[in-house]
Amino acid sequence: MLKRVLVAAAAALVLVASRSTAPIAAAQAPAAQNAPRAERTVWYFYRVKWGFQDEFVALFQKNHYPVLKEGMKSGRITSVRTFVPTYHGDGRADWTFAVAITYRDTAAMTGPSGEDEIVRRLYPDQATFRKEEQRRFEILDAHWDVPLNELDLSAGR
In DSSP terms, which residues pair with 44 in a beta bridge? 99, 145
H-run or E-run covering 144: strand 140-147
In DSSP terms, which residues pair with 80 in a beta bridge? 101
Q: Which pLDDT band, with edges at 50, 70 and 90, does 32 fall under?
A: low
Residue 144 has pLDDT above 50, yes or no: yes
Residue 123 has pLDDT above 90, yes or no: yes
Predicted local confidence at residue 151, as pLDDT: 86
User: Each residue of 35-59: pLDDT tens digit?
Assistant: 567 999 999 999 999 999 999 999 9
The sheet with strand 40-48 has its strands ordered as 77-83, 97-103, 40-48, 140-147
Q: Which residue has the higher pLDDT, 94 or 13?
A: 94
Nearest to 149 by CA among 28, 40, 76, 45: 40
